[in-house]
Chains A and B, each alone.
Chain A
Amino acid sequence: MSAADGPARGSPSHHNASVLEEWIVDELSGMIGPEHVLSGPSAQRAYDCDAYTVDRSKPTCVALPASTEQVARIVRWCNANQVPFTARGAGTGLSGGALAALGGVVISTKRMNKILEIDIENRCLLAQAGIANKRISDAVAGNGLHFAPDPSSQTISTLGGNIAENSGGPHTLKYGVTVQHILGVTMVDPLGEILTIGGKVPGGPGFDFLGLIVGGEGTLGIVTEAWVKLTPSPAAVATALVAFPTIRDATETVAAIIAEGIIPAALEMMDANILKALKLAFGLEYPEETQAMLLVECDCNRGIAFQTMGASGFQPEDKVQDAPDTHRLEADATVQLEMKTVQAVCEQHRAIEIKVAQDEAERAKMWMVRKKGIGAMGRLAPTIVTHDGVIPRSKLPEMLDFVYAVASRHGIGVANIFHAGDGNLHPCFYFDDRDPKQIEAVIEAGEEIIRRCIELGGSVTGEHGIGVEKIDLMSLMFTPDDLELQARAKRIFNDGNLCNPCKVLPNQKSCVEHKARWRGVAW
């Protein structure tokens, strides 16, 4: 009989842990081959957390299936034997979404990294969940298309992980987050059944389950394949780095640009501490008195053609790759005009330097600086913890004042690099994690900041997710009735406690006692 069909060969539930472990590894090896099951102390340690390293929990083993069918087989086996399982992409998640909170099997999508179908005419692409985000855009760049969500981790983070976390990125201000770019998914539900939800034609009648799955943090099943929307790459782009003498000047500029009715493709902010790190790491140059920098990008696609089927008839949209020169010129003009307005607003807010990228190389350099900002923080201190709160954009000036005050009160360093246009803060505390007092200060400062975000009408997380990290903060944002509504939504897919347990919703059955085991192990 198949290993997936039930607790075969006398499951050693009454034996000790190592026997149980050996048995699970044997069973999974039988399904997907021993070379695709990682076990033992080193594998357990390598997979005991994602990029949120504060909480750790060792999985029993790691399975690396190659197909949806193999994932389904593993999940059915886990159900038959009551073994918890947790999906994992590249492990770049920042809230512990890929943490095996109750141990069990980590199901890695690492080997499921293929593009299965490209449909240029319908501007969509089918890929396996383990593909790196950036590879999707690379595959269709020649066609003038790209996959719009661009988290800073995009060179390694996976499509499946982006779907689970509903990832954002700098360009979400204009292009939306991951959910806006997923047309359909193939997934293995928590009981091991393969489901296909959505399709190439969006917006049809019925409940929007796709909108629930995206951002479900891997607790509603394991997405194994997805149809993603491909977006025309902009016909014209202008990017500028603008230096300001104070934080307030920069944050007020953000609100003023939006108030002009402009939706920049990106509106990112970096403060003096980030700039210092970037100077050390990449030799970034800026005026000495700079306290904050904004990266502003304006772009333009050609106008979308739509009209009635009246006298003038239907005029098809132009092919992306051979956009007529007039369209390109129009796009250029639109972008230049927008950038002029942006520059004027910046000048009104006392900008001390405005650098507009003159060519693609300069533009790429500006973006490299933004995307490697967090990485450069390593130059300032041995450890960093990045938070992820959201506030209404108009509250940015007072919120940043608050962040600096909190950090200084706790005697820790803080640097800010974030999606200013969305009001999505990423205060980044830097400290020495060999000093327990500093760790405590960082935790306390983080909670103060998140509480303030809620008080100001924001959210506890803009793009990193709840995972295990913020599970206790959920009740600050939602009433018991609100949480009950979410629990009902979850139950549509997951009514058990095996599929990525102990995530998102607080007070889950069997998680309370286990929490003491993993929370803060790293300290």
Chain B
Amino acid sequence: MTEPSILREAEEIQAAIVTGPLFVIEGRGTNWRWRTCALLPKHEPGPGRKLLTRQVRGLVDYSPEDQVVTVRAGSRVFEIQRILAEHGQCIPLGSCGPHGLEYGSIGGAVAMNLPHTLEARFGSWRDWILGLRVVLADGTIAKCGSHAVKNVAGYDAHKLFVGSRGTLGVIVEVTLRTAPISAVESQNPTTLELDSSDFLATQRVLPSDFETARETITSAYLSDPASSTFWFGCGRDENPTRYPGDWLLRTMCGKRNLEITDPTQIRLMKRAKEIFDPTHKLNPGEMGIF
């Protein structure tokens, strides 16, 4: 229903993206603690420019009876939740630690793919997203996936963008399935009033290591046994105990915010980057490895 303006705005991003050598992409800027780019809000992006997606916002389409919603990527998560709530539905996003995602943009939430407390029961962005519209580094505007809750037509290219931290393209539109609020409420999610901390980490371990980790982590704000995930205070110089197969994300530690160490994963990511963004125009440094 608002198709022309979306295209125009996606095209504005397209027009901008082909002009510059380097861009830092930002939604609402609420995830800055988790980002690895040295280009935090206080800093001006050096040789490049900031590309803001926050104006690409608003509802595109919502079909409550199909439990499918399409929104533009700059919309705030809580704004979308409010619209869905009018129809008894929601995005089943649990707590993500002290710095909640609700004020951030949905595009940013998808790009960061941070863990949350309802993940074991309701999945996460990779499970909810049915389709995306993206602007690629060369200015191509493309959609992937569909609006159908079940679809295996073609390659699930949209999965690559979930958690890609804006290094493969700019997400401009998100189509996802919603869940009934009643199902989520029956899970009795605890709303946590947590102290804000500038130094936070989140770690997921194997279920078999959960007990041991729980005893080791003394500064936990939140733990979710169902997904074996912890959110805890973690100073810049601290080195949390690691467990086989685990992963760790931190805040305020620059490139150490995320670690990708598996050689196969690194090699494939570099190949993907080479194909999608060969001049490393988008969010340089954000993935640590490029």
Interface secondary structure of A, over-half rule: loop
Instruction: From A11-19, A407-415, A487-495, give the one contacting chain B.
Output: A487-495
A298 to chain B, nearest CB (A): 12
Q: B151 near A390 (CB under 8 angstroms)?
A: yes
* B120 proximity list for chain A (CB < 8 A): 304, 306
Hey, which chain A residues are within 8 Å of B204, CB to CB? 201-204
Cβ-Cβ contact count across A and B, 8 Å cutoff = 239
Chain A residue nearest to B147 in the complex (CB): A457
Instruction: List residues of A (479-523) whose CB comes within 8 Å of B's CBs.
Output: 479, 481-486, 488-493, 504-505
A197 part of interface (Cβ distance < 8 Å) = yes
Most A-side CB within 10 Å, residue of B68, B265, B287: B265
Q: Which of B123, B181, B224, B269 makes the CB contact (< 8 A) with A306?
A: B224
Chain A 94-132 residues near chain B, CB threshold 8 A? 119, 121-123
Contact A206 B269, beta carbon cutoff 8 Å = yes
A423 near B149 with CB under 8 A, answer yes
Please tell me if A234 contacts chain B, counting CB pairs below 8 Å: no
Q: Does the CB pair A176–B159 fall under 8 Å?
A: no
A376 to B73, CA, bound (A): 47
Partner of B225, one of A317, A422, A486: A317
- Whether A305 pairs with B151 at a CB distance below 8 angstroms is no
CB neighbors of B among A420-434 (8 A): 422-424
Most chain A beta carbons < 10 A, residue from B152, B190, B260 = B152
Instruction: Identify which of B88, B211, B222 contacts A309 (C-beta below 8 A).
Output: B222
Chain B positions 79-135 with a Cβ under 8 Å from a chain A Cβ: 88, 113, 115, 117, 119-121, 123-124, 126-127, 134
A144 to B219, CA, bound (A): 35
Binds A, one of B23-31, B37-45, B48-56, B241-249: B241-249
Whether the pair A393, B264 counts as a contact (CB closer than 8 A) is no
In chain B, what residue has the closest Cβ to A478? B154
A261 touches B180 (CB 8 A): yes
Per-residue CB contact flags for chain A residues 166-190 toward chain B (1 = under 8 Å, else 0) read 1010001000110110000000000
Kindly identify which residue among B63, B140, B151, B181 contacts A461, using a CB–CB cutoff of 8 Å. B151
> A444 an interface residue at 8 Å Cβ cutoff?
no
Q: Does B182 contact A (CB under 8 A)?
A: yes
Interfacial chain A residues near B214, Cβ < 8 Å = 309, 314
Q: A172 CA to B151 CA in the complex, in Å? A: 12
- A462 interface contact, C-beta 8 A: yes
CB within 8 Å for A463 and B224 given contacts A205-B163, A479-B142: no
Cα(A150)–Cα(B219), bound, Å: 42
Contact A201 B221 (CB under 8 A): no
A195–B66 Cα gap in the complex (Å)?
38
- In whole Å, how far is B103's beta carbon from the nearest beta carbon of chain A? 22
Q: What does the 1/0 interface line of B62-80 toward A look like (CB < 8 Å)?
A: 0111111000000000000
Taking CB atoms and an 8 Å cut-off, the chain A residues in 134-148 that contact chain B are none
> A422: shortest Cβ distance to chain B, in Å?
4
Question: Which residues of chain A from 443 to 498 have a CB within 8 Å of any chain B CB?
Answer: 457-466, 470, 474, 477-479, 481-486, 488-493
User: Do A255 and B142 touch across chains, with their CB atoms under 8 A apart?
Assistant: no
Chain B interfacial residues counted at CB < 8 A: 85
Name which residue of chain B comes closest to A392, CB basis. B66
Distance in Å: Cβ of B32 to nearest Cβ of chain A: 17
Q: Tell me if A207 and B66 are in contact (CB < 8 A).
A: no
Interface residues on chain A, number (Cβ under 8 Å): 86
Contacts of A324 in B (CB 8 A): none
CB distance from A335 to the nearest CB of B (A): 13
> Which residues from chain A contact B146 at a C-beta distance below 8 Å?
390, 458-459, 477
Are the C-beta atoms of B160 and A489 separated by less than 8 Å?
A: yes
Q: B208 to chain A: which residues have CB within 8 Å?
A: 119, 121-122
- Asked whether, in the complex, the Cβ of B144 is within 8 Å of the Cβ of A209, the reply is no
Which of chain A's residues have a CB closer than 8 A to the CB of B117? 306
CB atoms of B157 and A462 under 8 A apart: no
Within the assembled complex, what's the spacing in Å between the Cα atoms of A451 and B157?
A: 23
Q: Which residues of B contact A168 (CB under 8 A)?
A: 150
| Given contacts A203-B204, A261-B182, A314-B223, A462 and B245 within 8 Å (CB-CB) | no
Which B residues are CB-close (under 8 A) to A305? 225-226
Chain B: minimal CB distance from A427 (Å): 16
User: Do A393 and B223 form a contact, CB below 8 Å, given A208-B126, A209-B265?
Assistant: no
1/0 contact string of A298-336 vs chain B (CB within 8 Å): 000001111111000011110000000000000000000
A-B contact pairs, 24 of them (CB 8 A): A166-B156, A195-B268, A200-B245, A211-B159, A259-B65, A261-B88, A262-B180, A304-B187, A307-B223, A316-B211, A317-B226, A390-B150, A392-B148, A459-B153, A461-B151, A461-B153, A462-B151, A470-B153, A482-B143, A485-B134, A485-B140, A485-B157, A486-B157, A488-B275
Residues on A close to B: CB < 8 A? Answer: 119, 121-123, 165-166, 168, 172, 176-177, 179-180, 195-197, 199-209, 211-212, 214-216, 255, 258-259, 261-263, 303-309, 314-317, 390-394, 419, 422-424, 457-466, 470, 474, 477-479, 481-486, 488-493, 504-505
A166-B152, A176-B127, A481-B140 given. 18 additional CB < 8 A pairs? A123-B207, A197-B268, A205-B258, A206-B265, A207-B272, A209-B268, A211-B162, A258-B65, A304-B121, A306-B189, A309-B220, A459-B150, A462-B151, A479-B142, A483-B154, A488-B275, A489-B157, A492-B272
